[in-house]
Structure 1
Amino acid sequence: MDFGFSEQQGEVQTLARQILSEQVTPERLAAYDEFKAERFDRELWQQLAQAGLLGVALEESHGGMGFGFTELALFIEEVGRSIAPVPVIPHLVSAAAPIQRFGSSELQGRWLPGVASGDVLLTAALMEPGNEEPAAPSLTTATLDGDGYRVSGLKTCVPFARSADRILLSAAVDGGVVVLLVDPKSAGISLEDVRYSTYETQYQLTLQDVQVSAADVLAGPTAGAAVMQWLSLRTTAALCAHQLGVTDHSMRMTASYSAERKQFGVLIGTFQAVGHRAANCYIDVECLRLNTYQAASLLASEADATNEVQIAKVWAGDVGHRVSYASQHLHGGTGIDRDYPLWRYCLWARHNEMMLGGSARQLAALGARIAAGEAYCA
């Protein structure tokens, strides 16, 4: 049995790597440091759209390539490898994917062609202050208003909300949870900047009696929680894929540096302690790779991958932590020099570690499921 990627999957990853490696440079990334500009390279975004990559997991009828989540994860891995300033995860995974999976034909036709072409931008509000469970909103509520809803509440860490055409979010209602597409320009919405160490644009979203029409309802009260759980698993797996790219590049950057840097006239790569530390990084990254690919392949087949996603996220957190520390250590002072690119990768490793729950939270959730007989029990 062949467990490798198909030729087409390899071509998707190669195409993404070629475009991103050519277009994303430390000099271009420096333009976004210290919040000098919105961390969104729109020129690169259009190049990715023209190459078909924004539609990699969209059906051909919507202008996409017709592939699945595995191919999308390979694309996201390359985004992480370059830490490209593009909102691939919120746009394609957290918003477009559930629209394609659960949306009506009208909703799909209205948004998905623009997703593939890069003409529209979608994002998602998955977290509330003190609540990282997208399927269980506690601060955001909705009430029926004719065929639509009126929504009030608070969401935090919403990427690219000011630039987005719609924000996907969940709200508690009588009888369950609804999933809505909210126009950020609607009356009753306010956006407050949240400054992240990665310099990515995120916002705190406050909703006060915001009207959402029936046309922008993705899921009703009985299905909303399941929809949010579905997209939460895929967003978490996408963060793992991004982390794989981040840590793999950090590890390779460190290996290259240690093969050239001399101390007392001797290459530091020949020192046993340096070799052991670098080897541990390689083992860590490969473990993250295997767990991430396992989770992505199960999600691509619509199998239950809750266990695998939680395990991959544990690895993503721990590997990001260990590899960033080792990379900084082996680089010495060069690692924290702002003229050298490693520091940006360390910031992204930390971001991916904590987003949607760190390793401790994922282990606790997995342990609770095992104790309840919901995981790894015959």
Structure 2
Amino acid sequence: MDFTPTEEQEAARELAARIFTDLATHERLRAAGTGTDAELWKALCAAGLPGAVEETGLLGLVLLLEEQGRVTAQVPFAASCVYGVLGVARHGTDEQRARLLPGLRDGTTVVTGAFPAPRAVSSRDGRLSGTVDWVPWLRDATHVLVPDDSHALWLVRTEDAARVDPVELTAPWSAGRLVLDGTAGERLGTADAYADVLTAARIAFAGLQAGVCAGSLARAVAYTSVREQFGRPLSTHQAVQLRAADAHMDTEAIRVTAYEAAWRFDEALDATGAAVTAAWWASEAGKRVVHAGQHLHGGMGADLDHPVHRHFLWGRQLDAYLGCGTELLAELGDLLAEGAPS
């Protein structure tokens, strides 16, 4: 396997890094509060980055999401790319692709996903009923991809939902509670579409977590290099070095497992076990890294307005979204018993 980015992937990553760095500043994030940065979203779409995912694949998306995670940029980029662009491109009919992809590319259509759904939604004759307690970026979305209790996928317009109630999460993801009551849905894909989208989503959000952790660690390294204690920088103390080294190794483990899973997915190999592995590392190691990043800031880490606190909030939210570590290990164990590659 080769994780070296192609020229197209590297160009897209560099462009994303510039846009995120220029616009997702501490001051702009503070001004955005818990909402989405509409100007940043427009800039990303104007640069063609959501549409680029069709060409650069899931590994290309992981590279872009790392850049988003480094600065905790408040836009529905991950959700709309994995549930919308890739979901429709891979599983939509010719008519659905022609109708939906142009809006997904230019950002006028935003898709999120009610994943993973705990069998909360039932369908009958294309009508959906049930409640999903929280869906990330639902308040920004024009459509939501909803799996029913048989794991069929349905694309629902948010304006057709019985109710969308605002929900505030640990991280500022513009989430909402989705209530469906005989709501019309549009079928997307065949019976295997759910597993494919879930696999892609796990890999994509693991890539986002890799960026969140890298950003948290970078802030901790910068802080401990200039903050002095007993006449010398904190970074010269062995305990600080060991804590930072452990965080670095965890971050690299998240990154490499996400890269491997994305590579397998793009190469049309079985990526199910690799995706669960990446999700486990992102969940378990991710929370260790963002805790370390906050602790290495000492008293400053307790300041809710400090930039490192956003990384802590995002890391814990991604931990919750990707799933409980013991549940993921149990799922991975079942896959290994069935002979799936990990």
Please indicate the TM-score interval, normalised by the length of the shorter structure: over 0.9
Number of matched pairs: 342
Q: Which residue in 2 is equivalent to 1:154?
A: 131
Partner-residue secondary structure (3-state), 1:31: helix
3-state SS of the aligned residue for 1:84? coil
- The structure whose Rg is larger is 1
Matched residue, 1:68: 57
Tell me, in whole angstroms, the C-alpha distance in 2 between the residues paired with 1:31 and 1:354. 26
Distance in 2 (CA, whole Å) between partners of 1:376 and 1:97 is: 23
Match of 1:195 in 2: 168
Question: For the structure 1 residues 271 and 160, does the alpha-carbon distance in structure 2 shift closer, same or farther, using more than 3 Å as the test?
Answer: closer
Counterpart residue number, 1:83: 72
The answer to whether the 8 Å contact 1:127/1:157 transfers is no
> Which has more helix, going by share of residues?
2
- Structure 1 residue 358: deviation in Å? 2.5
Tell me the alpha carbon deviations over residues 158-193 of structure 1, each in whole angstroms, 9 at most, x when there is no partner: 123343222111224xxx44321112222x611122
Question: In 2, Cα distance between the equivalents of 1:284 and 1:171?
Answer: 35
1:2: Cα distance to partner?
Answer: 5.8
Q: Which amino acid aligns with 2:59?
A: T
Question: Could you state the TM-score of these two structures normalised by the residue count of structure 2?
Answer: 0.95
Separation in structure 2 between the aligned mates of residue 20 and residue 113 of structure 1, nearest angstrom: 23
Instruction: Assess if the C-alpha contact under 8 Å between 2:170 and 2:316 holds in 1.
Output: no
- For the Cα contact (< 8 Å) 1:193–1:204, is it kept in 2? yes
Relative to structure 1, the CA distance from residue 71 to residue 3 in structure 2 (aligned partners, 3 Å threshold; closer, same or farther) is closer
Q: Give the structure 1 partner of residue 31 of structure 2.
A: 31
CA distance in 2, matches of 1:255, 1:126: 35
Change (3 A) 1:195 1:2: closer
Which secondary structure does the structure 1 equivalent of 2:270 belong to?
A: coil
Q: Please say if residues 16 and 64 of structure 2, whose CA atoms lie closer than 8 Å, have aligned partners that are also in contact.
A: yes
Query: One-letter code of the match for 2:188?
Result: L
Corresponding residue number in structure 1 for 2:110? 121
Contact kept? 1:254, 1:330, Cα under 8 Å: yes
Corresponding residue for residue 46 of structure 2: 50
Q: How do residues 159-174 of structure 1 correspond to structure 2 at under 5 angstroms?
A: 159-172=136-149
Match of 1:238 among 193, 199, 204: 204
* d(CA) in 2 for partners of 1:165, 1:376: 36
For residues 144 and 341 of structure 2, the distance between their equivalents in structure 1, rounded to whole angstroms, comes to 36
Note the C-alpha offset of 1:50.
1.4
2:124 aligned with 1:143: yes
SS of alignment partner, residue 59 of structure 2:
helix
CA RMSD of aligned residues (A): 1.8
Would the aligned equivalents of 2:216 and 2:293 in 1 still touch at CA under 8 Å?
A: yes
Contact 1:123 1:164 in 2 (8 A): yes
TM-score (norm 1): 0.86
1:125–1:156 contact (8 Å) kept in structure 2? no
- Match for 2:100: what amino acid? W
**3-state DSSP class of the match of 1:67?**
helix
Shift of 1:51: 1.1
In 2 relative to 1, CA 2–98 (structure 1 residues): closer, same or farther, beyond 3 Å? closer
Secondary structure of 2:56's match? coil
Partner residue, 2:12? 12
Matches within 5 A, 1:316-327: 316-327=282-293
Match of 2:88 among 92, 99, 124: 99
| Cα distance, 1:345 vs structure 2 | 0.2
Secondary structure in structure 2 of the residue aligned to 1:56: helix
Output the CA distance in 2 between the equivalents of 1:163 and 1:102.
23
Does 1:265 find its partner at 2:254? no
Moved over 6 A (4+): none
1:208 paired with 2:185, answer: no
Q: Which runs of 5+ in 1 are unaligned?
A: 59-65, 132-137
> Which residue of 179, 184, 199 maps to 2:158?
184
> Residue in 2 aligned with 1:351?
317
Name the aligned partner's letter for residue 201 of structure 1.
S
Q: Which amino acid aligns with 1:190?
A: R
1:373 equivalent in alignment to 2:338: yes
Which protein, 1 or 2, shows the higher relative CO under an 8 Å CA cutoff with sep ≥ 6? 2
Query: What CA distance in whole angstroms lies between the structure 2 residues aligned with 1:117 and 1:197?
Result: 29
Q: How far, CA to CA, are the matches of 1:376 and 1:139 in structure 2?
A: 30
Amino acid at match of 2:21: S
SS of structure 2 residue aligned to 1:57: helix
C-alpha contact 1:54 1:92 (8 A) present in aligned 2? yes
- In structure 1, how many angstroms separate the alpha carbons of the residues matched to 2:210 and 2:241? 21
8 Å contact 2:69–2:208 — kept in the other structure?
yes
Q: In 2 relative to 1, CA 303–209 (structure 1 residues): closer, same or farther, beyond 3 Å?
A: same
Aligned mates of 1:368, 1:32 — CA distance in 2? 43
Question: Are the aligned partners of 2:152 and 2:193 in contact in 1 as well (CA < 8 Å)?
Answer: no
Gaps of 5+ in 2: none
